[in-house]
Structure 1
Amino acid sequence: MRARRTVPVAAAALLGAMLLGACGPSGSAAHDSPSGGPGSPTAATGSPTGSAAPSPSPGGSAAPSPSPGGATPGPAASPSTAPAPGRTVTASETLVRATRSGGFAGQAHTLIVKGDGSWTRLDARANPEGSGRLAPDRLAALTAALREADFARLPRFSKNATTVYDGFAFTVAHGGHEVAAEQGAEPPALARVLEALPPFTAN
């Protein structure tokens, strides 16, 4: 009787040892290796170095800062009193603005000529003191002189080598550029523009 009970007990002990070995740390089905099994935390959340989502910047925003040439508008530029070079002047726009100052009486007069040839003369306080309209041929001559002068290349200021007492000084603005010259020191191209203008005084 004792020998018959020994075989089942030994078999049970052997089966228990096998089960314990299968469920141990090296062979457990519930504890996969940390390198990529279906149940591993790495497979579920992804590797920290292989994540597709970019980390936020230190400022907390993932959007890049705008570049100098980006869509962020800068301060608005002040409107120009004259059209840009190369663009046709409309009838109501200023074609040229010229001021003559100095002389024996030390007076200043300004001429404003529009694109249609109409002009206005102002005194030193910008009060109107005369007006008129250039004939078509004179307007064409003034327009041609302005174009040939190429204001972008004219000297900003042309000064006499010696002081000329009671001389005039001219300031002329056209196409977004302004130049100044003393009487007798005007570049030839600017002198032609001054000659094509209406008179600075009524007399």
Structure 2
Amino acid sequence: MRTFRTVAAVRPGAAVRLAGAVLLGAAVLAGCGPAGSPDASMSRAPSGLPSGLPSGSPTSTGDKPPPPSQSPSTNPGRSPGQGQSQTPSRNPGNATETLVRVTRTGGFAGQTHTVVVKGDGSWTRLDVKAQPAGTGKMSPQELDALNAALAKADFAHLPRVSTGGPVIYDGYTYAFVHDGFEVASDQGSMPPALEAVLAALPPFTG
């Protein structure tokens, strides 16, 4: 007797649903990694974000630390001579050089006498023959008075010869030499500044 195998017929709708389920399962398996975890590419951080710089750190360009502040010196330099008393020199120039030379000519006898004072106050008197007739030395106070009178006279601006005053018979004529300047005056025309110099000099005769 022949044996006949009965084949169950499959409905068309069931076959379609079965194929869809198979495809869905294959897609799920394809999205998993080797250990069944999601694809590593899905967990990567978005590209384009900066890395390696901590928050708030300065950039490498344009930001330089400010220079240290410089406070003014507490001991500023003092200019030369500041705060120091300036005492004028009592004997300007070389002490051995001539400070002033005055020659007096005339008088009743018509004689000539000269007094030479040096920077240290030492003086020499010359007679009518221009020979030494006496020596001495002025005190510091006398020398100060003579220096003050010479400075006040301002020889650079005195006339070389002073005239125009009254004529004094048997009077004197004086010639002064000081600081490279020579001035002359007769007794009646002498400026007051030169009279002060005469008064500060040692006497012409002893």
* TM superposition score category, shorter chain reference: 0.5 to 0.7
Correspondence for 2:162 among 155, 158, 164: 158
Kindly report structure 1 stretches of 4+ aligned residues shifted beyond 6 Å: none
SS at match of 1:88: coil
| Distance in 2 separating the partners of 1:188 and 1:176 | 21
| Distance in 2 separating the partners of 1:161 and 1:175 | 26
| 8 Å contact kept, 1:160–1:182 | no
SS at match of 1:95: strand
> Per-residue CA shift, 1:131-160, capped at 9, x if unaligned?
100010000000011011110101111124
Alignment of 1:1-203 (within 5 A): 88-202=92-206
SS at match of 1:191: helix
| Distance in 2 separating the partners of 1:147 and 1:186 | 17
SS at match of 1:130: strand
Sequence identity, in percent?
A: 59
1:172 is matched by which residue type in structure 2? Answer: F
| Distance in 2 separating the partners of 1:144 and 1:163 | 29
TM-aligned CA deviation for residue 121 of structure 1:
0.4
2:186 is matched by which residue type in structure 1? Answer: E
> Per-residue CA shift, 1:9-44, capped at 9, x if unaligned?
xxxxxxxxxxxxxxxxxxxxxxxxxxxxxxxxxxxx
SS at match of 1:179: strand
SS at match of 2:143: helix
**RMSD between aligned alpha carbons?**
1.4
Instruction: Report the count of equivalent residues.
Output: 116
TM-aligned CA deviation for residue 123 of structure 1:
1.3
| 8 Å contact kept, 1:98–1:171 | yes
For structure 2, the residue ranges without an aligned partner over 5 or more in a row are: 1-90
| 8 Å contact kept, 2:95–2:120 | yes
SS at match of 1:92: coil
Cα–Cα, structure 1 residues 160 and 168, in superposed 2: closer, same or farther, change >3 Å? farther
Cα–Cα, structure 1 residues 160 and 124, in superposed 2: closer, same or farther, change >3 Å? farther
Query: What residue is the counterpart of 1:83 in the other structure?
Result: none
| Distance in 1 separating the partners of 2:146 and 2:165 | 29
